[in-house]
Structure 1
Amino acid sequence: MQSRSNADAYGIDVSHWQGDIDWAKVRQSGITFAYIKATEGTGYTDPQFTANFKNSEAAGIVRGAYHFARPSESSGTTQADFFVRTLQQQNAKGELPPVLDLEDTGGKSKFALTDWVNQFVAGVKAKTGTNPVIYVSPSFASSSLTSSISSLLLWVADWGVSRPNSFNGWSQWTFWQYSSQGSISGVAGNVDLDVYAGTPGSLHQRFGSVPSGGSSSSSGTKIANLPTLLEGDSGIYVKDLQLLLYKTGQHPNGVTGIFDANTNISVQAFQKDAGISIDGIAGPQTWSHLVEHPVSGRPALQLWSAGQEVTDLQYLLQYRQENPGPIDGLFGPVTEAAVTDFQSKTHQKATGTADMTTWKNLIEVLPQPIA
């Protein structure tokens, strides 16, 4: 099967075991999607399902729901009915396809369990028009299922490997749970880490756009509705403005949410570079140019680098809740440790060197997404 890359979309899967989740922090950590436990067996609804589904939507995370199979309790048809009915009652229509989580045989043989799965799949398809994704580990599938269901999309659970091996007729994964011991800002304790076989853009294109809180080009606050900002203003849109200025290579001296003199200078510098009216005011024309501007090239920074680019890096790390040490323009060991920690949280190779991927991850997720 295929391996994963930094360009892929990364996600988590959660249940009540994770307790209360700060989904805004989860999104800021670079998480694009989440699968959320809805039901189990015939009569259990996860007590955190409603809150998790609602709050992840508000944070702009692409969501899906999963059902934990208990084949000994009732038929696949009955559990499919219960799962879909729960989703409908809670108006929990996510963007991702539903999932059947297979970890329990219920004492059934390979053929009997496969028949049970086919009942569940048919029941979900009849009520939603969508085949569920199958979540399963290679060892469980090999010992407990036949290969006849391998035409369904696979969410493979395989930890601590560079890539899963093919099994039971599956030669590629759509989702891969690659760790059960992840650490993500906004989630207390360990959390399962997942990856989609494609970029965030391809995830949105395949399964639907980001919910209303999201950050894709198809959602968020429309440019025409953005407020006009000038020195003295404050709030979440000023943070957006400051991050976009960093994206274009400017130096607003922090993502503070306060439109101070440094932000004014940066706005004017950007307006000059963009060839538009230079007034230090972020109006419709300035917003439009900022949003459409590609991420400017930044140098790779490493231990003992120094200068304005290091200062920018330190401010951005501080905004992403890392501790870069003093904001002094010197890439010392504390800044290196902060870069390494941020890279780990955003699923990069933790080198301690701030390369272009690190810069993009620091800059691209806006607190108030803009379409």
Structure 2
Amino acid sequence: MKSLASIAVGVAALASVANASVKGFDISNYQPNVDFAKAYSDGARFVIIKATEGTTYIDPTFSDHYTKATNAGFIRGGYHFAHPGSSSGAAQANYFLQHGGGWSSDGITLPGMLDLEYAPSGDSCYGLSASAMVSWINDFLNTYHAATSQYPLIYTSTSWWQLCTGNNGSFGNKSPLVVARYASSVGTLPNGWSYYTIWQNNDAAPWGGDSDVFNGDLSQLQKIARGS
């Protein structure tokens, strides 16, 4: 089986030639009522849904969102909001896997997404040094990969990555990048990635949540969901 990273390389290469893209969005319990049928009719084809946070929180809307997205025909997946200072990467990956973050090669399930962003408490890097953060991320990724054969997507911003990992460049050959930048262009990417797989380009998707763009066409997105 090909790695997700190698698939994403092909996706990026094809996308650069064809300039293709697919609309999507990401949601959580802050968007309790989503009209998935309308989103699909408007051209969106994928949605990433919050499943867990740390090792104590399950998003109360995850199951409902996931079922409705599936019924509407979406490619969908779950995401985990990381709390690297509270427990190990392995513990959080396993919690995510147990509560919606799993993957199967059915062509409609995206590998899970690891959400790495500024801590809500104001301690941007959760009290970890850059080297400790890199170790934590590796622990999460390797645990997820051992369980699913896929590396999770990494969601982050360039500024967080620079601050909290020391702009580490070792993850681009493992995990596809979901980069957050609310601007007219994607800008400088975190070190280690020469392209993005998904760009979160604003926080006001017309169907609720954040607006995302996949860097490729629908068949390439389906390949990621199949893991082949």
* Structure 1 stretches of at least 4 aligned residues deviating more than 6 Å after TM superposition: none
Residue equivalent to 1:98 = 112
Q: Does 1:8 pair with 2:25? A: no
Aligned match for 2:68, one of 43, 46, 55:
55
Shift of 1:166: 3.2
Counterparts in 2 of 1:166-205, with a 5 A limit?
A: 166-184=189-207, 187=208, 191-205=209-223
User: 2: CA distance between counterparts of 1:74 and 1:7?
Assistant: 39
**Partner SS, residue 100 of structure 2:** helix
Residue equivalent to 2:93 = 80
Shift of 1:150: 2.5
Cα offsets for 1:305-328 (capped at 9, x unmatched):
xxxxxxxxxxxxxxxxxxxxxxxx
User: 1: CA distance between counterparts of 2:28 and 2:196?
Assistant: 22
C-alpha distance 69-171 of structure 1, shift in aligned 2 (>3 A): same
Counterparts in 2 of 1:131-150, with a 5 A limit?
A: 131-145=151-165, 146-150=168-172
User: In 2, are the aligned partners of 1:114 and 1:149 still within 8 Å (CA)?
Assistant: no
User: 2: CA distance between counterparts of 1:127 and 1:167?
Assistant: 27
Amino acid at match of 1:102: L
Cα offsets for 1:110-163 (capped at 9, x unmatched):
110110000000111111111111000010011111222222211111111323
**Partner SS, residue 150 of structure 1:** coil
User: 2: CA distance between counterparts of 1:181 and 1:117?
Assistant: 28
- Equivalenced residue count is 202
C-alpha distance 20-84 of structure 1, shift in aligned 2 (>3 A): same
User: 1: CA distance between counterparts of 2:93 and 2:70?
Assistant: 24
Percent of aligned pairs sharing the same letter: 37
Larger Rg: 1
C-alpha distance 81-206 of structure 1, shift in aligned 2 (>3 A): closer
Answer 1 or 2: higher relative contact order, Cα 8 Å, separation at least 6.
2
Alpha carbon RMSD of aligned pairs, Å? 2.5
* Larger strand percent: 2
C-alpha distance 205-72 of structure 1, shift in aligned 2 (>3 A): closer
Task: Structure 1 unaligned segments of length 5 or more: list them.
Answer: 210-371
User: 2: CA distance between counterparts of 1:148 and 1:20?
Assistant: 39
User: 2: CA distance between counterparts of 1:168 and 1:88?
Assistant: 26
User: 2: CA distance between counterparts of 1:114 and 1:28?
Assistant: 41
Residue equivalent to 2:30 = 17
**Partner SS, residue 26 of structure 2:** strand
Task: Structure 2 unaligned segments of length 5 or more: list them.
Answer: 1-11, 120-124
Residue equivalent to 2:184 = 161
User: In 2, are the aligned partners of 1:14 and 1:192 still within 8 Å (CA)?
Assistant: yes
User: In 1, are the aligned partners of 2:29 and 2:62 still within 8 Å (CA)?
Assistant: yes
Cα offsets for 1:144-195 (capped at 9, x unmatched):
11222222211111111323223312110011101112323xx4xxx21101
User: In 1, are the aligned partners of 2:101 and 2:112 still within 8 Å (CA)?
Assistant: no
* Larger helix percent: 1
